[in-house]
Structure 1
Amino acid sequence: MIRHRFSAEDFHRMAEAGILGEDDRVELIRGEVVELSPVGKRHAYVVNTLVDLLSPLRDRAVLSVQNPLALFPDTEVYPDLALLRPPRTRYRDRLPEAKDALLVVEVAETSLDHDLKVKLPLYAQAGIPEVWVVDLEGKRVLLHRKPEGGGYREVEALGPGARLAFGGVEVPAEELL
């Protein structure tokens, strides 16, 4: 079997040509178009909760919800939430890239394996400084800091009663779980 690998440019041309529709839930992972799981009600609730709780940072970061983040020439992902370097006008004519991301959050209702085994190593390789994976089934938030190679040197699992913090804003873990 021969596989054809796509670049991000190819990926965008497929969307412009109508091969990929606006409502298709897909990402480009190392040249392959990968279908994403549908968004469930718990997942949607947690993403909205994150936006509410992290909104005090909006004067210091751009809150980007389920929008593209270019990691490599052959990889474009759609994290559930990304906090990006301001100002937002820098993204008027280009997609945000890994170097722009301050924090990435993935909410895993049915996608934990994909988030941890596929996306997390890509985030580390791209140098994303901090990633939170909200594991809804396991009732925990996995914090990943200090990227090195294909992983993170600091990993911490937080459950109900714990508090996450970013940029001086605290988020009670139970609000997400």
Structure 2
Amino acid sequence: MTVTTYKWTIERYHQAVDAGIFDDQSIELLHGDLVVMPPEREPHAYYNTEAADYIRTLLGERVKIRDAKPITLPNNSEPAPDVAIVKPLGEIYLQHHPYPEDIFWIIEYSNATLSKDLGEKKDIYAEAGIEEYWVVNLKKLELKVFRDLKDKQYTTELTINKGTVSAFAFPDVSIEVRRLIKL
């Protein structure tokens, strides 16, 4: 017996969302699959909010910070990253979530979802052309930075737990790593 799974398109997923089918569940669309997101515990929510506020103060009106809001990717994916630093395009976001070309970089905070964030999500973001992807490992209190896309894969991986780091899109802005991983 062959088992065939149903692959969702972004259009069908949006129709289901509009119909209220997923109102009682926190899900995201990854490569056409619906993935239930685990409940967010207090440390995850705290770090996520504080980091978004910190980056907002550093970059001001040069960006729009979207925390836990969807982004739309061409690979039948619509994840809701913890922090997406995107172009400040104003009301265009009434018509669609940010596309890859609108995104400067993404930050995910990981504890229970660490393997997914370092595996499947990293691959989805690279495949979609997201230039930079950061994962804060809440277990080890370290920041993993993925950048330098080539052939839809990140070729550079940095592991940092102190000092400063700059996003590729904003080399003039120093971000204190400790403000992201131990506030």
How high is the TM-score relative to the length of structure 2? 0.89
- Tell me, what secondary structure is at the counterpart of 2:73? strand
Pair 1:16 & 2:40 matched? no
One-letter amino acid of the structure 2 residue matched with residue 100 of structure 1: D
Residue 108 of structure 2 corresponds to 106
5+ residue gaps in structure 2? none
Aligned 8 A contact 2:111 2:139 in 1 = yes
Q: Which amino acid aligns with 2:122?
A: L
**Pairing of 1:7-156 with structure 2 (within 5 A):** 7-21=9-23, 23-55=24-56, 56-72=58-74, 74-156=76-158
Checking the alignment, whether the CA contact within 8 Å between 2:149 and 2:155 is kept in structure 1 is yes
Q: Which runs of 4+ in 1 moved over 6 A?
A: none
Count of matched residue pairs: 175
Shift in alpha-carbon separation, 1:14–1:105, aligned structure 2, 3 A: same
Residue 74 of structure 2 aligns with an amino acid whose one-letter code is F
State the one-letter code of the partner of 1:127: G
* Matching residue of 2:176: 172
Higher strand share: 1
Q: Deviations over 1:103-162 (max 9, x none)?
A: 111110211100011100111111111111000102210011112234211110001x22
TM-score of the superposition, structure 1-length normalised? 0.92
Identity within the alignment, %: 26
Alpha-carbon distance in 2 for matches of 1:58, 1:88: 14
In structure 1, the gaps of 5 or more residues are none
Amino acid at match of 1:37: P
Amino acid at match of 1:82: A
- Asked if the contact 1:54/1:169 (under 8 Å) is kept, the reply is no
Contact 2:49 2:67 in 1 (8 A): no
